[in-house]
Amino acid sequence: MEIVRIDPLEPDPAVVRRAAEVLRGGGLVAFPTETVYGVGANALDAVAVRRIFEAKGRPSFNPLIAHVPDVERAMRLTTSWPDSAARLAERFWPGPLTLVLPRAPEVPDEVTAGRGTVALRVPAHAVARALLQSAGIPLAAPSANRYTEVSATTAAHVVKGLAGRVDLVLDGGPTSVGIESTVVDLSGDQPLLLRPGSIALSDLREVVGPLPRAAEMEDETARPSPGMVRRHYSPRARLRVFQRSDRSAMAEAARAAVERGARVGALLLEPLNAPVQHAMQLPADPEPYARLLYSALHELDDAGCDLILVDAVPEGGEWLGVRDRLSRAAHQD
Ligand code: TXA
Ligand code: MG
């Protein structure tokens, strides 16, 4: 496995060409997008796509996002392009939005997990864009982490999870958005929000009108967003979220854990009066919070924390993506 630095704003064409060759040859390349790092393979090559599932330890019923350089290429992978898709793409592509649409026949079952739909995204990151242009193929790319673990926002995170499991890692520095793309399902009668991301709910609703969240079903194989297992994006440490009104309970939990000999980390919005070994203060604003969240979780894991205490983030549509990731990271099973 090779790790190559690449300028995130002006990627070196020679490096991009080499990575594109690896991809065209059926290999796996980890690369930065504006959300998180992805581990990519030729989306039209079933054998290459199977290697992604092996590398991640991901169950094959969980479908992948196909990344394309523009709307025209997205339209080739679907049999329908409703007005809602056109408007969302116009407003948010290239960017951190994924659209689920009826699949075209040439998309392999390995990408769609045998479903009738395919997830499509046009990323904005210059490295991802250059790679898509140079390779000339759609790239199936899930987040570049082992299944259920915290996504990678730096090349070092990628290496931590997938060392030796991919052919090439393009190191373009830390990603800017920090949490995975918003996923909207446009394949049914009504648009559905499958996964909140960094785009505010109000901005999405401005474009498509009402946007209910897909119901969360207990049986993962039956749910509309197969990736939405409750426990996901999880650090090794146990994570507990405390409402801001419960700060005394949070301090108490910290004291009790430290007394038991546990190593305790905290993701705080304001200082905590308790003997926590690894307290990290995060910004009280959803964008910078999202950008730093996964690095903070990786750091607390690396520090050997057994327990991470987290200040609940505010209610409100701009925090939806962050709230979703925190509650999944906190889920026990
Ligand atoms: O920001 C992102 O979306 C990153 C970067 C690399 O693009 N990718 C990413 O991929 O997060 P992944 O595979 O970790 O998450 C994709 C999500 C999963 O929850 C998956 O179940 C859902 O999209 N998904 C993919 N195809 C789908 C489909 N046909 N129908 C419903 N959900 C789908
Ligand atoms: Mg993922």
User: Which of 98, 132, 233 is the best mutation target for the ligand 1 pocket, counting ligand atoms within 8 Å of the beta carbon and taking the most?
Assistant: 98
Phi-psi region of 275 (alpha: psi -120 to 50; beta: other; left: phi over 0): beta
pLDDT by residue, tens only, the chain of 333 residues: 999 999 999 999 999 999 999 999 999 999 999 999 999 999 999 999 999 999 999 999 999 999 999 999 999 999 999 999 999 999 999 999 999 999 999 999 999 999 999 999 999 999 999 999 999 999 999 999 999 899 999 999 999 999 999 999 999 999 999 999 999 999 999 999 999 999 999 999 999 999 999 865 333 444 456 655 566 677 889 999 999 999 999 999 999 999 999 999 999 999 999 989 999 999 999 999 999 999 999 999 999 999 999 999 999 889 999 999 999 999 876
Q: Strand 29-32 vs strand 168-171: parallel, antiparallel, or unpaired?
A: parallel
Is the beta carbon of 181 within 6 A of some atom in ligand 1?
yes
Q: The whole model's pTM is what?
A: 0.95
Nearest to 188 by CA among 88, 280, 138, 116: 116
Give CA–CA dist 115/326, Å, rounded.
28
Residue nearest to atom 6 of ligand 1 (CA): 38
Which numbered atom of ligand 1 lies nearest the CA of 197?
1
Nearest to 109 by CA among 28, 186, 44, 53: 44
Nearest to 74 by CA among 52, 62, 91, 89: 89
Distance 269 CA to ligand 1 centre (A): 29
Is the beta carbon of 153 within 6 A of some atom in ligand 1?
no
Q: Is the dihedral of CA 47, 56, 17, 178 positive or negative?
A: positive
